[in-house]
Structure 1
Amino acid sequence: MPTLPRKQPEPAQPHQARQTAESFGADAHRYDQARPGYPDDLVARIVAGSPGPDVLDVGCGTGIAARQFQSAGCAVLGIEPDARMADLAQARGLKVEVATFEAWEPAGRMFDALIAAQSWHWVDPVVGAVKAARALRPNGRLAIFGHVFEPPAEVAEPFAAAFRRVAPDSPFGNQPAGGPLASYQAGYAQIADKIRETGRFNDPEQWRLDWEQSYTRDQWLNLLPTTGGLTRLRSDQLTEILAAVGDAIDALGGRFTMHYTTLATTAVRAAAP
Structure 2
Amino acid sequence: MPTSRPEEPLPSEPHQARQWAESFGSDPERYDRARPRYPDALLERLVAAAPGPDVLDVGCGTGIVARQLRAAGCRVLGVEIDPRMADWARRDGLEVEVAAFESWDPAGRTFDAVVSGQTWHWIDPAAGAAQAARALRPGGLLAVFWNAGVPSPEMAEAFAEVYRRTVPELPMLQKVTASPQGYTALLDKATDAIRRTEAFGAPERWEFDWRRSYTRDEWLDQLPTSGFAGQLGPEVMRKILAGVGEAIDAAGGGLTVDYTTVAIAATRTDAPVRPA
Normalised by the length of structure 1, the TM-score is 0.93
CA contact (8 A) 2:148 2:178 kept: no
SS of equivalent to 1:92: coil
Give the alignment's Cα RMSD to 1 decimal: 1.8
Pairwise CA distance, 1:86: 0.5
Gaps of 5+ in 1: none
Poorly superposed stretches of 4+, deviation over 6 Å = none
Specify the alignment match of 1:180 in structure 2. Answer: 179
The gaps in structure 2 that reach 5 residues or longer are: none
In the other structure, the counterpart of 1:242 is: 241
Are 2:143 and 1:143 aligned? Answer: yes
Distance (whole Å) between structure 2 residues aligned to residue 118 and residue 155 of structure 1: 23
Contact 2:6 / 2:169 at 8 angstroms: preserved in 1?
no
Note the alpha carbon deviations across 1:32-68, whole angstroms, 9 max, x for none.
0000110111111111111111100000000000000
Q: Is the 8 A contact 1:212 1:258 kept in 2?
A: yes
Alignment of 1:39-118 (within 5 A): 39-118=39-118
Query: Which amino acid in the other structure matches residue 239 of structure 1?
Result: R
Q: Separation in 2 of the partners of 1:109 and 1:177?
A: 40
- The count of residues paired between Structure 1 and Structure 2 equals 268
Q: Tell whether 2:255 aligns with 1:256.
A: yes
Q: Which residue of 2 aligns with 1:11?
A: 11
> Does the C-alpha gap of structure 1 residues 100 and 86 become closer, same or farther in structure 2, counting only changes over 3 Å?
same
Give TM-score, length-normalised by structure 2: 0.92
Over 3 Å counting, the alpha-carbon distance change for 1:51 and 1:179 in structure 2 is: closer
CA shift digits 1:175-220 (9 cap, x unpaired): 5456633121332132112111111000000000111000000110
**Which residue type is aligned with residue 206 of structure 2?**
W
Partner residue in 1 for 2:268: 269
Alpha-carbon deviations, 1:69-112, whole Å to 9, x = none? 00011110000001111100011111000111011100100000
1:139–1:268: 8 Å Cα contact kept in structure 2? Answer: yes
- Counterparts of 1:189 and 1:16, CA distance in 2: 18
What are the superposed Cα offsets for residues 150-185 of structure 1, whole Å, 9 maximum, x if unpaired?
022232223222223322333633x54566331213
Deviation (angstroms), 1:149? 1.4
| Contact 1:34-1:219 at 8 Å conserved across structures | yes
CA distance in 1, matches of 2:92, 2:204: 32
Question: Post-superposition shift, 1:9?
Answer: 3.4
Alignment of 1:208-227 (within 5 A): 208-227=207-226
- Who is 2:205 aligned against? 206
Identity of aligned residues (%): 55
Whole-Å separation in 2 of the counterparts to 1:146 and 1:6: 27
Alignment partner of 1:145: what SS? strand
The answer to whether the 8 A contact 1:213-1:260 is kept is yes
**Which letter maps to 2:201?**
N
With over 3 angstroms needed to count, the CA separation of the structure-2 counterparts of 1:153 and 1:6, relative to structure 1, is: closer
Structure-2 change in CA distance of 1:242 and 1:155 (3 Å): farther
Secondary structure of residue in 1 paired with 2:206: strand
Answer whether contact 1:214 1:255 (CA < 8 A) is retained. yes
